[in-house]
Structure 1
């Protein structure tokens, strides 16, 4: 199996790198690419969806990004220890009806020894916003790496 550094156990610097790598991958909106960060039998809870395995992750993400248009994400390290990382995140998107949303969430991640995520649990809330309130318009520029997310 191919390793996906950084590997656990995580220290603060390696946990921050892992979080930024996840953000960068998700901002590609390429389900096949994103799924490579997960074990073949990875278990997810995403809102009220329960997903098992890379193929199901790919299907889920393909459906997600057909509904969540202009998706752009920011993740922030919340805590870490051993082979686990928790993050908070915000992403913004437009739905097919043209409404604009900001989604707030928290994730719990667990990794195997190769640095692949074996478990992901996400709790997410969607808040309607006006288009002019969007502040996340694309992938994070290098100079913004490490910036904290505002509460609102």
Structure 2
């Protein structure tokens, strides 16, 4: 079985590292790569949709990133305990008509002993924004730069 460090039990520093690794993974918009952070039988609730297993995760993410263009995500640690992490996040994207959106949400994660996520509960709300209201600017082919403001610095 593969291991995805850091592994539980999480400290504050290792939880922050896990959150940033998740953010970087999702910002690749590579469903196959992202799915490897989850157990084979991982269970998700994403808004009102329920997804189980890596194959379903890949299909879900393919649909998501076909619709959510120029996607950029920022995650921030909210809380943690030995094998659970809570995050808040925001992301921006536009649809095929050029309308930009910003989504806000919270996720609760639970990990196995190998550092793979086996449960993900996500609550998300979004609203349209004007292009001049965008806040997430970095090369979309790279992770968010270390000096780019996080959610707290942006006032989210």
- TM interval, shorter chain, is over 0.9
Separation of aligned partners in 1, 2:98 and 2:152 = 28
Q: 2:63 corresponds to which residue?
A: 63
Q: 1:120 corresponds to which residue?
A: 120
Q: State the 1:70 CA deviation.
A: 0.4
Moved more, 124-133 or 134-143: 134-143
Cα RMSD, aligned residues only: 1.4
Q: For 1:3-152, what aligned pairs fall within 5 Å after superposition?
A: 3-138=3-138, 139-144=143-148, 148=152, 150-152=154-156
Q: Is the alpha carbon distance of 1:83 and 1:71 closer, same or farther for their aligned partners in structure 2, counting shifts above 3 Å?
A: same
Q: Is the alpha carbon distance of 1:84 and 1:7 closer, same or farther for their aligned partners in structure 2, counting shifts above 3 Å?
A: same
Paired residue secondary structure (1:143): coil
Gaps of 5+ in 1: none
Q: Is the alpha carbon distance of 1:128 and 1:91 closer, same or farther for their aligned partners in structure 2, counting shifts above 3 Å?
A: same
User: Is 2:41–2:118's contact at 8 Å kept on the other side of the alignment?
Assistant: yes
Separation of aligned partners in 2, 1:134 and 1:28 = 19
User: Within the alignment, does 1:2 sit opposite 2:5 as a pair?
Assistant: no
Separation of aligned partners in 1, 2:62 and 2:153 = 26
Runs of 4+ in structure 1 deviating by more than 4 angstroms, as ranges, are: none
Paired residue secondary structure (1:82): coil
Aligned length: 152
Residues 57-102 of structure 1, C-alpha deviations (whole Å, 9 max, x = no match): 0000000000000000000000000100000000000011211000
Separation of aligned partners in 2, 1:135 and 1:28 = 19
Residues 112-138 of structure 1, C-alpha deviations (whole Å, 9 max, x = no match): 000000000000001110011111134
Separation of aligned partners in 1, 2:9 and 2:119 = 16
Paired residue secondary structure (2:5): coil
Q: Is the alpha carbon distance of 1:104 and 1:146 closer, same or farther for their aligned partners in structure 2, counting shifts above 3 Å?
A: closer
Separation of aligned partners in 2, 1:63 and 1:149 = 31
